[in-house]
Amino acid sequence: MTLFLDQSVIQLNNGIQGEMWTVKTANPVNFYQALSAPNKAPKTTIYAQNFLPKGIEKPPAVIIVPGSMGVAPSHVLKAELLTQAGIAACIIDPFGTRGVSSTVSNQAQYSFAASAWDVLATLDQLTHQAHVDPCRIGAQGHSRGGSAVLSAACMQRLTKFETRLSGVYAAYPWCGQQFLLPQVDNTKVRSIIGDQDEWTLPQQVQAHMQAIRLCGGDASCRIVAGAHHSFDRETPIEITADASVSPGAPTIYLQDNGAYIHPVTGEANPETSERELMLYGIKAGYGVRGARIGTSDNLVQTFNEDMMGFWRGCLQT
């Protein structure tokens, strides 16, 4: 779908038009820089569009974070469902201003730490906009975006940002890197993933949710039978030939200061880069080229019902 760079305003099928705005964010090279030296992270901006439900003063809001293919019609549909339920939606475009069109074949074009920072920066600025309830804002991410919202939930207590997410909905997230102590405070967390997913590992997602629970968080995970990656897209199942994935690689853990713990040595090193660890997974034999994406049967409806059930309960609508 057209990125937001051309400033085209999206109109939902329910007649609600997007409001374009700019989010001030950053490009930390890794989580260590994001958490231990945030002032050194290069500043940047991304575009977003807000969609406000009609006739509701200061509604709750959900930030929508796309995955490796960027903003797609499926994300716009989520905004439509949310606004119909009286919830504002804010779709962010992490790619356009960074000069990225897709990260499917190369996830190292900008860091996962930057993806998480986008979520926190959007949250912080959204709370200061008069048209939404600052105490009821959540974030929903898909694939790489799912990783972003989970990391953001764990980073909240470790950053300068004072605002907190009410909830996080992580759709088929890559959980190949996780905080060693994933404390999310009062943020409610839910993940959903298909048992046929070839991009991300369902067991890793389950383990991440269990770790959050063991740290005192409210987290749940739903495994959907027969579902592939991005099963909420209204497109048939097909192979994405240039996809570069390593779903079976060992989990990479992070300390609270953002330093990566190498899965082989067990040592934490602030200088270790995401790219270095991704290459380790590939060289260790976990790299796969090509993976399926899309949906079948009534799986789009299954996803949307689960998503809306979570947000209605979490945001009390």
In the prediction, which pLDDT does 4 show? Answer: 77
In the prediction, which pLDDT does 202 show? Answer: 97
In the prediction, which pLDDT does 252 show? Answer: 95
Cα maximum dimension of the chain = 57
Query: Looking at domain 4-315, does it have CATH number 3.40.50.1820?
Result: yes
- Percent of the chain at pLDDT exceeding 90: 90
In the prediction, which pLDDT does 317 show? Answer: 73
Q: Which two tokens stand for residue 176?
A: 């190949």
Which one has a higher pLDDT value, 221 or 160? 221
In the prediction, which pLDDT does 8 show? Answer: 82
Compute the average pLDDT of residues 138-161: 96
Q: Mean pLDDT in the chain? A: 95
**The pLDDT of residue 2 is above 70:** no
**The pLDDT of residue 1 is above 60:** no
Answer whether 247's CB lies under 8 Å from 203's CB. no
Residue type, 7: Q
pTM over 0.95: yes
* Confidence bin at 205 (pLDDT 50/70/90): very high
Q: Counting beta carbons within 10 angstroms of the beta carbon of residue 46, is it exposed (0 to 12), middle (13 to 18) or buried (19 or more)?
A: buried
Tens digit of each residue's pLDDT (9 = 90 or more) over 81-135: 999 999 999 999 999 999 999 999 888 889 999 999 999 999 999 999 889 999 9
In the prediction, which pLDDT does 3 show? Answer: 63
- Percent of the chain at pLDDT exceeding 70: 98
**The pLDDT of residue 304 is above 90:** yes
> What is the rounded distance in angstroms from the CA atom of residue 309 to the CA atom of residue 317?
10
Tens digit of each residue's pLDDT (9 = 90 or more) over 231-280: 999 999 999 999 989 989 999 999 999 999 999 999 999 999 888 998 89
